[in-house]
Structure 1
Amino acid sequence: MRTRPLKVALLGCGVVGSEVARIMTTHADDLTQRIGAPVELAGVAVRRPSKVREGIDPALITTDATALLKRGDIDIAIEVIGGIEPARTLITTAFEHGISVVSANKALLAQDGAALHAAAEQAGLDLYYEAAVAGAIPLIRPLRESLAGDKINRVMGIVNGTTNFILDKMDSTGAGYQEALDEATALGYAEADPTADVDGYDAAAKAAILAGIAFHTRVRLDDVYREGMTEVSAADFASAKRMGCTIKLLAILERAADGESVTARVHPAMIPLSHPLASVREAYNAVFVEADAAGRLMFYGPGAGGAPTASAVLGDLVAVARNKLAEATGPGESAYTQLPVSPMGDVVTRYHISLDVADKPGVLAQVATTFAEHGVSIDTVRQQGRPDGVGKEASLVVVTHRAADAALSGTVEALRKLDTVRGVASIMRVEGE
């Protein structure tokens, strides 16, 4: 066994970084045995050096991350800063100085993953990022290594714990969106500004990373269609229950039937209670993978938090350290297919549409004609009248057969122009059937 330690620079020491440092210290002997050499925390770059960090030698703390990387003795850098800059510059600096990188930075990888992979390959170094998607769940390595010999056709999953907690509370308690969000904030699941989570930005970044790995093509954050979940209501959950469904914010990545393109999208959707993803509760994540030979696989576990995310980071650290000792590198970017990412309008799925309409004869026929004119076939219709205080209104719920998203959008625009349609209360896709 090699006795000279592999030296690690930790860039960032927040919730995740502090857990990484703690595990490196408390499990030092085990890590040494698993890697074949000691790993030593050689420096910790932070923004606020005066903050007390229990268990970390103050002598390791620095505010100059660039100088730490340029020191000349660092073997591996762990980047848990997040965001685009200075993380991007620090990672490229690490590569320029012969340092392999472990990152948990989903936003940066979704935006500039291709350039970072190219820099790592040119330098003959590793770029690992298991912690960037789904926290502690082993997902990226199975996709790019264990399933490397298979053809993945579809990936569908819950990849944001905050939104799943909120939707689960709305489903199980009947709470409204704001009430469920307030509870998530009080428990620490939601940030003070939850926009990245509830508007789907976090899930979209993870979707871009997963799509690129699953389909061996480059998918950027801008390629991912995104809808948030702030408009999901108690009425939507009531409709979902009548259909034997629940509602989840899903990341859905698909290879076209002809294999010539892919789609990537994030949006709330109804899924049958019989689907494995329907039973994922609270802040847990789960990803459902469909492959030619392996069939259907599901990965499940805690998707966020300091300790779960640190677990994924340390797993990458062990893998990269072993590669360093073997003077080898692990798998890099695989983008040989160069498949185009089709627009959302090409996606084909089912829809649940709730309309507020005038409660009078002929309305249903008018609505059905509008659907037919746009090539969208109706599966079921449910109409319920209710007094509105002036005249009479009805709630009309239409569930379609599978149709292209562009056709559905055209249908909705036409419905809004009908005199008998007072409003489109909600539109939701139906997935997982």
Structure 2
Amino acid sequence: MSSTNRTVVVTGIGATTPLGGDATSTWEGLVAGKSGVRPLEQDWAAEQAVRIAAQIAVEPTEVIPRPQARKLDRSAQFALIAAKEAWADAGYTETSADDGTVDADRVGTVIASGIGGVTTLLDQYDVLKDKGVRRVSPHTVPMLMPNGPSANVGLYVGARAGVHTPVSACASGAEAIGYAIEMIRTGRADVVVAGGTEAAIHPLPIAAFGNMMAMSKNNENPQAASRPYDTARDGFVLGEGAGVVVLESAEHAAARGARVYAEAVGQGISADGHDIVQPEPEGRGIAHALQNLLDRTDLDPAEIVHVNAHATSTPAGDIAELKALRKVFGDDTDHMAVSGTKSMTGHLLGGAGGVETVATVLALYHRVAPPTINVDDLDPEAEANADVVRGEARKLPVEGRIAALNDSFGFGGHNVVLAFRTI
């Protein structure tokens, strides 16, 4: 089974996000230009400088039985919900590894989180302080582990080819999917469940990001707070949720007659080597990742008609990314419809790459690019470097093979670019 050039395809998708409890409702919300941002109503929010977030649309306890949910960190709950949907969407069941439908030794999971079980850690510390040692949950350690979501998804699908958790801040979800592509391409696995999850809407992360001046403080108008490329953008809006895809070798998918959404062409990875939180302002690291993608795959820049941009709504990051696209693709950038879907979902940190991969794959499948909302006054530098889809969704070419990119970047200078194309 060893090979370095196996074609990888997407056969299943799943999500739970601020726009909906599954991939379908999330996609419908994106195409409609719906915002998932709203005021925080928790008591602790009153003293915060930032009092808005993109909270999940459907609470996990509405989907997962409460006894099971109590043993899972919120991030793992999200991951399991999205993975179950993706696994079923690909045509598998919870017993597929047991009944021989799929060889468990050839199944893997790669589910990432940028922060892991932060709410479990902080909440259980409060329990320790307020109620004493004996009241701390015995499930605390497996709940707070960053690999907990991947491990629980691995248990659900019966994965034995490997269970992995890359941690690279806001690039984590995309790096997970890139790693999964390589697992299949190099023959380690035939099927990999991959994506990202995050659940960090908690007073400490919000206070910390707020004090960094990284988040929008537009508390009076939450739905307009996340505004990539707008001249009035003032930081990202924290979101929560998960996005997961099922990847397979093309041969494995064809042998079982699976529906295929798109080909997963490959990944490009780099590091800025610039600053722990600030992006390299000219986008050199991002450009390196884009060029790495082109060098390692057969992707033709002329095929690329859509980019799901990282576009967090920060003054520096938004423009650096677009400069990188222009630097690498030149005039080809003019026919790339650029969407900033965080304008609707908020920024899911380690979950962003997973959710935005789902959006990218569905954009190709339906040949529609979602809009970037809240762009009332387009930044001239954005206008000079890219074709930003604003206001309404845009149809993509209906004829021929087309490709799309999903960009993800994270604190520490992590840069990951994923490419997908129609079959």
TM-score higher than 0.5? no
More relative contact order, 1 or 2 (CA 8 Å, 6+ apart): 2
Band of TM-score, shorter chain: under 0.3
**Greater strand share, structure number:** 1
TM-score normalized with structure 1 length: 0.27
TM-score by length of 2: 0.27
Q: Whose Rg is larger?
A: 1
